[in-house]
A and B are shown apart, each in its own frame.
Chain A
């Protein structure tokens, strides 16, 4: 069955450094992926998405990379700030119109 998982449950970075959060997926037919940010006590918030016909997409301070060969995607956050501290989820959009979420990586930013 489909599954989406993250490599690390926690990540600690120094303020100003770049952060890289990884995600693996199992369904090679998946064609759309989303990264969500969830702050404590709040619902998930859309960050950036990517379709399978792309291998890279950039937003404001964030970049998502997709490697279809090894079924892996990553979220890169440039110049990480204290406000970036949150749990980050990757999610796969399946053919049935449903989102399949990974377990999440908690990002902590040290001042």
Chain B
């Protein structure tokens, strides 16, 4: 299994440009997440999808949109990029299980490094 994969690995955008970050998982997980990580800070949740067909806002959703294309894929779109969106973006997935320690573990992709000029 490849786990969680993200494309692209790196991207440079000009202010106002748009782009879509792709994420896919092959673990048959129900829930998927998009986070951003800024220097000296932990991960902050942008959007998540508890299951196929549903999406919800996280802590910092402004300036972003998401699409849960199917169970495997969850994309993040920047419609009009701003320098404040320069960050490292991580996608994660998890398979909620009932009972037992470790049931809520999220598995993370390698990240997409985005620079907005």
Q: Which residues of A does B touch, CB under 8 Å? A: 4, 9, 32, 34, 41-46, 49-51, 54, 57, 89, 91, 93, 97-99, 101-104
CB of B105 within 8 Å of the partner chain: yes
Say whether B111 contacts A99, CB under 8 Å.
no
CB distance from A47 to the nearest CB of B (A): 10
Q: Mark B residues whose CB is within 8 Å of A.
A: 4, 31, 33, 40-45, 48, 50, 58, 90, 92, 96, 101-102, 104-111
**Partner of A103 from B40, B48, B50 at Cβ < 8 Å:** B40
What is the CA–CA distance of A13 and B109 in the complex, to the nearest angstrom? Answer: 29
Interface pairs (9), CB distance under 8 Å: A43-B108, A44-B90, A44-B108, A45-B108, A46-B106, A46-B107, A89-B43, A98-B45, A99-B33
- Residue pair B101, A42 in contact (C-beta under 8 Å): no
Which residues on the B side are within 8 Å of A54 (C-beta)? 101
Q: How far is the CB of A36 from chain B (nearest CB, A)?
A: 8
Q: Are A32 and B104 in contact, with the CB atoms below 8 A?
A: yes
**Shortest beta-carbon distance, B45 to chain A, in Å?**
6
Interface centre among A46, A49, A51, A98 (most CB of B within 10 A): A98
For the complex, give the distance between the alpha carbons of A57 and B41 in Å.
26
A49 close to B41 (CB less than 8 A): no
**CA of A50 to CA of B108, assembled, Å:** 19
Q: Across the interface, do A99 and B108 meet the contact criterion of CB distance under 8 Å?
A: no
Which listed residue (B40, B41, B45) contacts A99, Cβ 8 A?
B45
Bound-state Cα–Cα, A91 to B33, Å: 15
Contact (A49, B44) CB under 8 Å given A42-B110, A43-B109, A43-B111: no
Q: Say yes or no: A102-B108 contact (C-beta < 8 A), given A97-B31, A97-B50.
A: no
